[in-house]
Chains A and B, each alone.
Chain A
Amino acid sequence: MSAVFSGIKASTFLAWKSIQRGNRGTLALTIMIIALILVNLVFLPSIISGVVVTFDTQSIDFDLGNLVVEPREGSQYIEDVAVLQRKIERIPGIVGTSPRIAAGVTYSYRGRIAASTLYGITPEDERSVTKIADRMIAGEFLSNGDTDAIVMGTTLAGREGEEAGGLPSLQGVVVGDSVEVAYPNGERRTYRVKGIYETQSFSVDTAAFVTGREMSGVLGLDDQASMILVKTGVSGREDAYKRELLSYGVQEEVRTFREKSGGFVDQAVQSFNIINTISTLVSLIIAIVVVFIVIFINTVNRRRQIGILKAIGIGQQIIINSYILQVLFITTVGAIAGIGLTAGVTTYLTAYPLVFPGGPVYPDVEVSAVLQSVASLFAVSVAAGYIPAWQIVREDILSAIRG
């Protein structure tokens, strides 16, 4: 045991002296490369994770809530909505429900026409599920008693003289303007624009809302809805809540927001993961190559020194371990620097997020992902450092000394 301990002490001594008195430039460069590799290992997954988080958050907060209850197969509308709402709201963990009537409509404004979805909602209920009411950039959100008011997304409202890149846009609607809506049953209504909102979720920002009472009147509905959005107390447990709703006797179709999205996120995540895997492999290969080259050059340059060490009775394992310890030092400092750089980049991108079609994407750095990346980096670095050290140390003493 004491031999092992003194061996480790000797390896540490040799490693530290080599670091302390070796080439500082090479050391700094190697540490920098390791740091950048770690940034690359952590950064891309954090952006992918951020995209998923953004999509989930946008879906839950503005588009779909956590769960969506839809009509039974073969039915166009959910019947007895009030009763169903009360039933769902009694389930523990459910914090709100919002029935919506959806209709594909055509908007007319100053000769400009746009087609998109118009929702009929109960404003108070909608406030309990989505955060659209908090994202008004002009005017106000709907009130329960409104009958001639409409609120619309910023994309649909548009800007004077600006196309919206193929998205529906009335190009310049402002609060107080009148917009004519043509319903699918041929009815036409003119609404005063009460407010304009911006959620940065394009499907929501191209839609508009009137009260459910108004829309029911136009479409001739009574206590019916196209869907009921359900807000749960905790996000991330949608599948469990879905089972809960079904166990409470909800007969309608219940889907989580992910299911409702048609697997779009899952497909996107799968594609991102392929890119991420390739990126991770490339990063780790770069790490292997860099550490291998650095240690290989180091050992080749010290071939004679290694021979001398062996000649005076320093064991092979002590010499190999001294190189492993140097690699551990380089990787540790590199990892710390990499974590620092990642923190800097994350802070910057949190302040100035990347803008995706689904909304602003903030890097979502998961501790487990960082630990995994650091562990991978250590594993490949140690392996890449061990091999050249082991190769040189096995060489015959006299050949090594003669160089």
Chain B
Amino acid sequence: MIVAENLTRVYTMGRVEVHALAGVSLEVAKGEFVGIMGASGSGKSTLLHILGLLDRPTSGSVTIDGVDVLALSDHQRTLFRLNRLGYVFQDYALIGELTALENVYLTSLVRGAPKDEYIERSADILRQVGLGGRTDHRQSELSGGEQQRVAIARALMNNPSILLADEPCANLDSQTSKSILDLFARLNEELDQTILMVSHEEWHKEYFCRVVTLRDGVIGDMVECRKM
């Protein structure tokens, strides 16, 4: 469960202060598929970065599964990301020198899992995302949709309690986007995976349990979209 209270994030650019978040409070229950929407510059990605422990707020608090994550040291935050979070980036963010399989099992290797186990599991996850035949391909040999599926498989590898996705379909055509969203919906429904996804596409709303709309760094609307 995520509990974020009164989050602010101020960027200083020269003499100008930009209030990316101006007091956002949000609770996300386990098993929710929450869409964070809003116009460009509304603070969607900033919120996701803070909840994904990639950035720190200027003020406010964040608790994930009962852990005050803002009180953690950099090393503890790294371990928290490794063990509890899965992050999917807009532009896939794969490691170009690694194959699809290697990209997926890298975090398990770091966690010290047995080799047989992590190879089998990463191959299995790649099969689940429809890339069973592409395990030995490198980033340059995969299409955008395939790369994003590898990124999702990587994010799922360590059974994260929360999957965070920052506009994962932004660079994909609508058909591929739909397949990615179907995959998220399946993970949410079948595995009870908590998902926070940033999007600006209206048609994505049908996949979300709840849509949080940001406007100028504050929550404008919070709408239930479908039954959990």
Chain A partners chain B: yes
Give the B-binding residues of A (Cβ under 8 A). 2-3, 5-7, 9-10, 13, 17-18, 20-22, 304-305, 308-316, 318, 397-398, 401
Least CB separation from A396: chain B residue: B55
Q: Tell me the complex Cα distance, A313–B87, Å.
A: 10
* Contact present for B81 and A313 (CB under 8 Å): yes
- In the bound complex, CA of A9 to CA of B113 (Å): 11
A6-B111, A22-B97, A305-B95 given as contacts; is B87 within 8 A of A398 (CB)?
A: no
Contact B97 A313 (CB under 8 A): no
Determine which of A17, A310, A312, A315 lies in contact with B97 in the assembled complex, contact meaning CB atoms within 8 Å. Answer: A17
Instruction: Contact check, B78 vs A13: say whether CB atoms are below 8 A apart.
Output: no
Cα distance, A283 to B81, chains bound together (Å): 44
Contact A6 B110 (CB under 8 A): yes
Residues of chain A lying within 8 A (CB to CB) of residue B52: 311
Write the B35-56 contact mask toward A (1 if CB under 8 angstroms, else 0). 0000000000000010010110
30 A-B pairs within 8 Å (CB atoms) are namely A6-B110, A6-B111, A6-B112, A7-B110, A9-B112, A10-B109, A10-B110, A17-B97, A18-B97, A20-B97, A21-B97, A308-B93, A308-B94, A308-B95, A311-B52, A311-B87, A312-B81, A312-B106, A312-B107, A312-B154, A313-B79, A313-B82, A314-B78, A315-B75, A315-B78, A315-B79, A318-B110, A397-B55, A398-B55, A401-B93
Q: In the complex, what distance in Å separates the CA atom of A9 from the CA atom of B109?
A: 8
CA distance A291 to B74 in the complex (A): 29
Interface size on B, residues (CB 8 A): 32
Point out the residues of chain B lying under 8 angstroms from A3, CB to CB: 112
| Complex alpha-carbon distance, A346 and B196, angstroms | 67
Question: Would A17 and B102 count as touching, CB distance under 8 A?
Answer: yes
Are B78 and A313 closer than 8 Å at their CB atoms?
yes
Within the complex, the shortest CB–CB distance from A281 to chain B, in Å, comes to 36
B59 within 8 A of A: no
Known: A17-B97, A22-B97, A308-B93. A314 touches B107 (CB 8 A): yes
Q: Say which residue of B49, B55, B82, B93 sits within 8 Å of A314 (CB atoms).
A: B82
A313 near B110: Cβ-Cβ < 8 Å: yes
Query: CA–CA, A17 to B96, complex, Å?
Result: 10
Q: Once the chains are docked, how many angstroms separate the CA of A185 from the CA of B112?
A: 94
Q: Does B98 contact A (CB under 8 A)?
A: yes
B83 interfacial by beta-carbon distance below 8 Å: yes
CB distance from B96 to the nearest CB of A (A): 7
Residues of A within 8 A of B111 (CB): 6
Main secondary structure of the interface of A (DSSP, over half): helix
Please, which residues of chain B bring their CB within 8 A of the CB of A401?
Answer: 89, 93
Sorted from nearest, which 3 A-B pairs have the closest CB atoms?
A313-B82, A6-B112, A313-B81
| Interface residue ranges of B66-91 to A (CB < 8 Å) | 74-75, 78-83, 85, 87, 89
- The answer, among A20, A21, A398, for a CB contact under 8 Å with B49, is A398
Residue of A nearest to B138 (CB): A21
A313 contacts across to B, CB distance below 8 A: 78-83, 85, 107, 110, 158
* Residues 105-144 of chain B, each 1 if its beta carbon lies under 8 Å from chain A, else 0: 0110111100000000000000000000000001000000
- Cβ–Cβ < 8 Å partners of A2 in chain B: 112
Q: Please report the C-alpha to C-alpha distance between residue A397 and residue B77 in the assembled complex, in whole angstroms.
A: 12
Q: Which residues of A contact B106 (CB under 8 A)?
A: 10, 13, 312, 314
In the assembled complex, the Cα of A398 lies from the Cα of B78 at a distance in Å of: 14
User: How far apart sit A312 and B80, CA to CA, in the bound complex (Å)?
Assistant: 10
A316 touches B78 (CB 8 A): yes
Which of B83, B94, B110, B154 is the most central at the interface, judged by chain A CB atoms within 10 Å of its CB? B110
Bound together, the chains give a CA A313 to CA B80 distance in angstroms of: 7
**Are A314 and B110 in contact, CB atoms less than 8 angstroms apart?**
yes
Q: In the complex, which residues of chain B have a beta carbon less than 8 angstroms from the beta carbon of A316?
A: 74, 78
Bound together, the chains give a CA A64 to CA B87 distance in angstroms of: 81
Further contacts, 20 of them, CB under 8 A, given A312-B107, A315-B110, A316-B74: A3-B112, A5-B112, A6-B109, A18-B97, A20-B97, A309-B95, A310-B78, A311-B54, A311-B87, A311-B89, A311-B93, A312-B106, A313-B78, A313-B83, A313-B107, A314-B78, A314-B107, A315-B75, A397-B54, A401-B93
Which one of B82, B97, B102 has the greatest number of beta carbons of chain A within 10 Å? Answer: B97
**B109 smallest CB distance to A (angstroms):** 5
- Cα–Cα distance between A18 and B98 once the two chains are bound (Å): 9
- Nearest-Cβ distance from residue A298 to partner chain B, whole angstroms: 12
Bound Cα distance A13, B155 (Å): 19
Distance of A400 from chain B, by nearest CB (Å): 10
Collect the chain B residues with CB atoms within 8 Å of residue A20's CB. Answer: 97
Least Cβ distance of B9 to chain A in Å? 11
Distance to closest chain A CB from B142 (angstroms):
15
Q: Which residues of A contact B109 (CB under 8 A)?
A: 6, 9-10, 13
- Report yes or no: B54 in contact with A398, Cβ–Cβ below 8 A: yes
**Residue of B80, B95, B107, B158 with most chain A CB atoms under a 10 A cut-off:** B95
For A309, list chain B residues within 8 Å (CB). Answer: 95
Contact B112 A312 (CB under 8 A): no
Q: Chain A residues near B83: list those with CB within 8 A.
A: 313
Complex Cα distance, B106 from A305, in Å, reads: 13
- Of all chain A residues, the one with the shortest Cβ separation from B95 is A305
Q: Chain A residues near B85: list those with CB within 8 A.
A: 313
Instruction: Note all chain B residues with C-beta closer than 8 A to A318.
Output: 110
In the docked arrangement, what's the CA distance between A20 and B95, Å?
A: 14
Chain A residue with minimal CB distance to B80? Answer: A313
Separation in Å of the A192 CB from the closest CB of chain B?
83
